[in-house]
Structure 1
């Protein structure tokens, strides 16, 4: 654990000033204990989702433990969890919004309870640099993420898993097994909080953890979680290289806000789709799927006079459409009642 955190700090936070998202569970508790030893300054953020009776007491206890372990401060962040996209997704959005906002808050003493609502403006104090927030995701979490991505079938990007650092989120434990964090807590005499949601079978990730991965380990003879994490790391390296090549190609294909088709027609599909994806996201597209990308790509490679493709972004009642016009791909806004096609 100490080697993992020390290595992460050396590469991504050499000043040693970090925050830790602390749930009170074994992974985040072990991470907090380790960071308190290895980092110069650690502020602990405990998110109270308010989804269970006694959650405020659980959060308060976690804050006390964080201070005892040597954190500079421990703040309880109270959030309101919505319903959109299901409970898991809504809780995740609320949690990340609160953590992102809290890291810009100035230090005001060892202990501070603070309410941060979902969607809080994390840039409100943008003159003060926000700290990285360390999260307790382990190698086992990475394996579950890769399996979920594999089931979505959205290509290499969806099975690259989580990265060690995507500002502001740091994940030093992606090479550490979950049983190691539990062992560290036991060695230090810490009692982790067992979240009932982590054993509730109605959550997909719980069934992956308790049923699917153990079965894969049994059938394939062990080492599955580590192999999935290793595959994700290799795909992230490959993806970074392809993204860099695609960025160069995008710069040569861009013409104002349009893309020159001639530049895209002869390049490899993996690069072409990356260029199209980056261009669409830069133009305001949202929640792009593989079928979205391939439909837009067909405007370049399989042009038969088809109309434009709706790509998920919208402004004031209109929707964003990618279309072909005069040897270029353009983005335009279409009225919703005009259907898929742009004329």
Structure 2
């Protein structure tokens, strides 16, 4: 009896554990055709039926490269041959969205994945991010000066518009997904954007992370990913405390300054961030400086004017409360 290649076993085990923890119902795999998502889709095609799960595939055509539509159609056709149903390609429009090209493509992709899940009644979508992707995310967050939430990296689960987005491979290395594809005779597509130095992540992948590995040893990748896991646990606890503090700080349409002043800074800034989101400030545009300006209305009040938020919103201090500026 031929033994299962270790890389294939590792990916299948990760998928089986994710399916066990996923909400009940059908599941879709987001598959670009790259090694990570291709190994994920192959493992889901094997594991899904044995776990009593209906598993389908969706591939998103961003329309950013010549031949992208044909490539997406080929990925969908492959999915159908391995028993993934539905297996479909979805085209999206990236141009005209706010933010840089990476952020715009990501936003369009997640919108398409969630829409596909709703269309097919899927409870969850599996994403192919690996331990290496997580390590790169932590380095990028460090370079931006991000706080604990940013350094927590990509969550293993994120709920978006009623759909669970799951990342089963965050403890699996990129070398394993490539080895799994090779063992199963799969030919991954190499996205040229992954090697384009115009993208920050591509530079981290090609230069920064390899330099750290050369200087500190290969364990640095797992250590960065483990740091993200630990910070995610801490951030989740602080977020729960902040949610309770936000409820206790409400004062009509605003927030009580005395109640906010009594909070620890780590909780208070989370309360202010969450309140800004309630007011309509887009999370992607809401930065540390916006929250710091609101925090100064509480902790360093000397009669300053309205603090501006993304989207033309503002907050002013009126007596002992922060209120939306009219």
Instruction: Provide the residue aligned with 2:145 in structure 1.
Output: 153
Q: Residue by residue, what CA displacement relative to the aligned partner does 1:155-209 show, whole Å, maximum 9, x if unpaired? A: 1111110111102311110110001111111111111111122222221111111
Moved over 4 A (4+): none
Q: Please tell me whether the aligned partners of residues 58 and 90 of structure 2 are also in contact (alpha carbons under 8 angstroms).
A: yes
Aligned equivalents of 2:100 and 2:267: distance in 1? 34
Give 1:78 shift: 1.4
For 1:105, what is the secondary structure of its paired residue? helix
Say which of 319, 322, 331 aligns to 2:315: 322
For 2:317, what is the secondary structure of its paired residue? strand
Aligned equivalents of 2:100 and 2:262: distance in 1? 43
| 1:253-332 equivalence runs, <5 A | 253-286=249-282, 287-313=285-311, 319-332=312-325
Q: Please tell me whether the aligned partners of residues 306 and 325 of structure 2 are also in contact (alpha carbons under 8 angstroms).
A: no
Say which of 242, 245, 251 aligns to 2:241: 245
Instruction: Provide the residue aligned with 1:235 in structure 2.
Output: 231
Instruction: Provide the residue aligned with 1:95 in structure 2.
Output: 109
Say which of 66, 76, 81 aligns to 1:53: 66
Bigger mean CA deviation after superposition, 292-301 or 95-104 = 95-104
Give 1:93 shift: 2.1
Give 1:218 shift: 0.8
Aligned equivalents of 2:260 and 2:101: distance in 1? 41
Instruction: Provide the residue aligned with 1:190 in structure 2.
Output: 186
Say which of 68, 72, 81 aligns to 1:68: 81
Aligned equivalents of 2:187 and 2:131: distance in 1? 22
Give 1:130 shift: 4.3
Aligned equivalents of 2:80 and 2:88: distance in 1? 10
Instruction: Provide the residue aligned with 1:340 in structure 2.
Output: none
Aligned equivalents of 1:202 and 1:249: distance in 2? 42
Give 1:237 shift: 0.4
Q: Please tell me whether the aligned partners of residues 154 and 289 of structure 1 are also in contact (alpha carbons under 8 angstroms).
A: no
For 1:44, what is the secondary structure of its paired residue? strand
Q: Please tell me whether the aligned partners of residues 152 and 158 of structure 1 are also in contact (alpha carbons under 8 angstroms).
A: no
Instruction: Provide the residue aligned with 1:8 in structure 2.
Output: 18
Bigger mean CA deviation after superposition, 209-218 or 219-228 = 219-228
Q: Which has the higher helix share?
A: 2
For 2:114, what is the secondary structure of its paired residue? helix
Aligned equivalents of 2:273 and 2:288: distance in 1? 10
Instruction: Provide the residue aligned with 1:205 in structure 2.
Output: 201
Q: Residue by residue, what CA displacement relative to the aligned partner does 1:284-328 show, whole Å, maximum 9, x if unpaired? A: 123221111111111111111111200113xxxxx3111111211
Instruction: Provide the residue aligned with 2:34 in structure 1.
Output: 25
Say which of 131, 141, 163 aligns to 1:139: 131
For 1:104, what is the secondary structure of its paired residue? helix
Give 1:14 shift: 4.4
Aligned equivalents of 2:238 and 2:65: distance in 1? 44
Give 1:248 shift: 1.2
Q: Please tell me whether the aligned partners of residues 28 and 122 of structure 2 are also in contact (alpha carbons under 8 angstroms).
A: no
The count of residues paired between Structure 1 and Structure 2 equals 305
Aligned equivalents of 1:158 and 1:48: distance in 2? 28
Aligned equivalents of 1:48 and 1:196: distance in 2? 14
Instruction: Provide the residue aligned with 1:316 in structure 2.
Output: none
Alignment RMSD = 1.5
For 1:103, what is the secondary structure of its paired residue? helix
